Amino acid sequence: MISYYQCLNFIVEIIIVDTRNTTELARELGRCLIEMRNFLRQYIQAKIKEHQMDISFEMIEIMACLWNKDGINQQEIADIVIKDKSSMTYLVDNLVKRNMVSRKVDADDRRNNLIYITKEGRLLQKKLNPWILEMYETAASGIQKTKITQSIKVVKKMSENLKAEKGLVIIM
C-alpha cells in the first residue's frame, strides 16, 4: 500500500513542468543518449587499455550477443547490435583472427554463417562480464527501477514513431 506522502511525492515530481516544448525535450533526450553511450564506450575502453587487451568495444558488443545466445548468424547479430551486415563481416573477421569465435556454415540453410564462441572466447567472457555488469551497476546506481522502465518505454515509443514514419516514406 502506498502512503499519502508517497502519492504526494509522485504527483509533485510529475507536476514540476519544464518550460520547453516537447520537441526541444526530444532533442535534448537525443543528445543525452549520445553522451551516455559515449561514457559507456569510454568506460569499457579504459578497462581494455588498462589490461592491454587486443579487442575493441565493437567486438565486445558482438561477443556479448553470443554470450547471451551462441550459434546465431551474422544477420541476427547485426539486428541485435543495430549495425549493417557488412559491418558484421568486418567485425566477425577480426574476432575469428583473434580466435574468439568460429564461423560454421549452417547445414540446414547454407546461406547462414553460424557464429560460435571458442574456448578463448569463453575466457574473455569470464574476464569481461564482471566489468560490463559493474559498468551498468554504476550507471544505474541510485535510480529507481521503475524510472528506468519508464525511460525505456519513452525511448521505445520514439523509435516506433520514427519507424512508422519511415514506413510511410517508403510507400510514398
Residues at the contact surface with its own copies, assessed by CB under 8 A: 2, 7, 10-11, 13-15, 17-18, 21-40, 42-43, 46, 50, 80-82, 133, 135-143, 145-159, 161-163, 165-166, 169
- Cα-atom radius of gyration of the chain, to the nearest Å? 21
C-alpha cell at 131: 566489468
**Using rule CB under 7 A, residue 18 touches DNA:** no
- Extended beta strands in the chain, E state: 72-73, 101-105, 113-117
**Shortest Å, Cβ 44 to its own copies:** 11
* Residue 102 interacts with DNA (CB under 7 A): yes or no: no
Q: Is 86 in the site for DNA (CB under 7 A)?
A: yes
Give the interface size with DNA as a residue count (CB under 7 A): 32
Residues contacting 97, CB < 8 A, separation 6+:
none
Sheet holding 101-105, edge to edge: 72-73, 113-117, 101-105
| C-alpha 133, offset from chain centre | 13
Nearest approach, Cβ of 15 to DNA (angstroms)? 37
Instruction: Give the list of residues 6+ apart from residue 100 with CB closer than 8 angstroms, or none.
Output: 55, 59, 63, 117, 118, 120, 121, 124
The yes or no reply on residue 42 touching DNA (CB under 7 A) is yes
Of 110 and 145, which CB lies nearer to its own copies in the complex structure? 145
Under the binding rule (CB under 7 A), the answer on residue 94 touching DNA is: yes
Determine, following the binding rule CB under 7 A, whether residue 83 of this chain makes contact with DNA.
Answer: yes
- State the residues that interact with DNA by CB under 7 A: 38, 42, 45, 49, 56-59, 73-76, 78, 82-92, 94, 103, 109-114
